[in-house]
Amino acid sequence: MDLIRSHILVCAGTGCASSGCKKVSNAMLESMQKHGLDKEVKIIETGCFGFCMMGPIVMIYPEGAFYCQVTPEDAEELVTEHLLKGRIVERLLFKESGGQRPVALFNDIGFYQKQNRVALRNCGAIDAECIEEYIAHDGYQALAKAVTQMTPAEAIDELKKSGLRGRGGGGFPTGRKWEFAAATKDEVKYVVCNADEGDPGAFMDRSILEGDPHSIIEAMALAGYAIGARQGYVYVRAEYPIAVERLSIAIKAAREMGILGNNIFGSDFGFDLGIRLGAGAFVCGEETALISSIEGRRGTPRPRPPYPAVKGLWNKPTLINNVETFANIPQIILKGGEWFASMGTEKSKGTKVFALAGNINNTGLVEVPMGTTLREIVYDIGGGIPGGKAFKACQTGGPSGGCLPAEYLDTHVDYDSLLAVGSMMGSGGLIVMDENTCMVDVARFFLEFTQDESCGKCIPCREGTKRMLEILERITNGEGREGDIELLEELSETISRASLCGLGQTAPNPVLATLRFFRHEYEAHINEKRCPAGVCQALLSYSIIEDKCKGCTLCKKACPVDAISGDVRKPHVIDIEKCIKCGACVAKCPFKAISR
């Protein structure tokens, strides 16, 4: 066996894959071969590091140097400098926004400092396609412990002690869910992993499946043991090809090692897993719709009760948990429920993964203890808002969540605190919006999404969200009428109380949330035909403020339709007839001399 002196971890998650990580690792290998290092340095393609905007990411151990946005052209320098001469390549290190000096070590980066990676612990740390690496990181120890030393009831008790709640959005206590499924008597039961992640911008489930698929297999087998099921299914969207591939490889490896199949760890317990691909319908993340889809029928929800724990897949008792929920479970069994419960708040234990997106410097995946404040996430981890702009709102909970303004930045992020201020945890999407965001437009955007993703089965959701969208479009098009706000509120009430499933029941949330904190913006659109954030095109009228214009001609050059005229060093003028309201002039003007 070769003695390896250095390990190079190259992120091979979907984010880095799309920014070209494969080419980087190929170039690294080529360069290492050229310098005869390929026997003493090993390249490992890992799952997602979470810091997606900095990809492709390359980490070199034992130093722990964290290189960002590495290109194939950088490979030679990394090999000769870092690997041959032992010198850190400073220019490829991460620099904090506003910071002067590059940060060499992963743990010193603000983005990671406040994080506590439990669900994501192996993502970016191991080769997801290698079962031995998972085992080396305590993998399958929890399953071995449960199957050989614990009764199913003890395993469920441990989970109950941990206080873990469903990470898919509902926040239902996981231990109790397992208990219900265990209590239903039937010869045949199923365990289902909900990997139909659909919130725009959220990708924690994908990252876990790509970076640590064995943790899901282990947790599902644990669930099978606890509730008395011998078969499980992972329902994953077909748009996640890397996740599907790595999960398939992992299942195959686990079967070959006897971790899936009959007589697991020499016990009477047997369990196997299958993958079912979803076709990308948001509603299939709703558990009854998901079941319907696995059964080969149209993915539409059905009323509950009966709950899946009683009558689920093929009318058999079925336990459904989401990927992130499952990813926490092996460690809870291994380290004990009390260890998990020591993190987080009174009613929200453990950590939560968030997908940071929008107007924020450090976009990516972060995992923080429950109870961390929004401010810490946005500023300490997320690095604040780009371009020195002001924070306006942040949207949590995905399309069914709410928008919180700046005065709520100190809200603790946990299930109950978010609900209390009119938002929700959801599956962990966190979109930051700066001062240039129109909140009516944001509501319209989310309604466009939910009405498009409505399955069409129940009338309040199918017709109601469509009508709400039509009203919102009217408002953003400058055709808002008196009474529109009240109509939106009334529709919201009916849709949220009368819809069949969670999608419909929460679909009006973006409107209700923006109305709650930004009602004045709606009123400005309707009554004054004005978009305060300058986003809604139909309501914009561009003009140059004479006093501020220095006649620099930048706007004139930027205008794609030649709507701006004027001589050098004299105030310019916009021809409203020609103007297409694209905003190119505003972006270019150094003197803020253009109003809209």
Partner 1 sequence: MERIKLTIDGIPVEVDPGTTILEAAKRIGIHVPTLCYHPELRLEGACRICVVEVEGMKNLAASCVYPVSNGMVVKTNTDAVRKARKTVVELLIANHPMDCLVCRRHGECELQDLSRQLGVRQIRFHGEKRDIPIDESSHSVIRDPNKCILCGRCVRICEQTQAVSAIGVANRGASSIVTTPFNHGLADGPCVGCGQCINVCPVAALAEKDDTERVWDALNDKKAHVIVQVAPAVRAALGEEFGMRPGALVTGKLVTALRKLGFDRVFDTQFAADVTIMEEGHEFLARLQNNGPLPMITSCSPGWVKYCEHFFPDMLPHVSSCKSPQQMFGVLAKTYYAEKSEINPASIFSVSVMPCTAKKTEAARDEMNTSGYQDVDAVITTRELANMIREAGIDFANLQDGEFDLPMGMSTGASTIFGVTGGVMEAALRSLSELVDGKELAHVEFEQVRGFAGIREASVELAGKKVRVAIANGLGQAKKLLDQIKAGNDEYHFIEIMGCPGGCIGGGGQPLSTDPEIRMKRAAALYRQDMLKRVRKSHDNPAVKELYKNYLGEPNGEKAHHLLHTHYTQRSKY
- Which residues of the chain form contacts with partner 1 (CB under 8 A)? 281, 283, 298, 302-303, 305, 451-460, 462-467, 470, 487, 490-491, 493-494, 496-500, 505
Nearer to partner 1, 22 or 474 (CB): 474
Give the Cβ contact number of residue 486 at 10 Å.
9
Identify whether the C-beta of residue 282 lies closer than 8 Å to the C-beta of residue 290.
no
> What's the min distance (Å) between Cβ of 164 and partner 1?
24
β-pairing, 231-237 vs 272-278, is parallel
> What's the min distance (Å) between Cβ of 295 and partner 1?
14
Nearer to partner 1, 196 or 453 (CB): 453
> What's the min distance (Å) between Cβ of 82 and partner 1?
52
Q: Tell me the H-state helices in 311-438.
A: 323-335, 337-341, 374-375, 415-420
- What length does the chain have? 596
DSSP 570: S
> What's the min distance (Å) between Cβ of 449 and partner 1?
11
Nearer to partner 1, 481 or 557 (CB): 481
Q: Closest Cα to residue 161, out of 171, 153, 169, 151?
A: 153
Integer Cα distance of 555 and 388 in angstroms = 22
Integer Cα distance of 329 and 216 in angstroms = 9
Integer Cα distance of 346 and 445 in angstroms = 35
Integer Cα distance of 382 and 376 in angstroms = 8
**Residue 391, H or E segment:** strand 391-396
> What's the min distance (Å) between Cβ of 574 and partner 1?
35
Nearer to partner 1, 279 or 561 (CB): 279
> What's the min distance (Å) between Cβ of 498 and partner 1?
4
Nearer to partner 1, 189 or 311 (CB): 311
Cβ neighbors of 107 (< 8 A, separation 6 or more) are 64, 113
> What's the min distance (Å) between Cβ of 495 and partner 1?
9
Identify whether the C-beta of residue 541 lies closer than 8 Å to the C-beta of residue 530.
no
Nearer to partner 1, 13 or 301 (CB): 301
> What's the min distance (Å) between Cβ of 492 and partner 1?
11
Nearer to partner 1, 459 or 573 (CB): 459
**Alpha-carbon distance values, 371 to 66, 175, 416, 425, 582 (Å):** 28, 21, 10, 12, 41
Nearer to partner 1, 71 or 494 (CB): 494
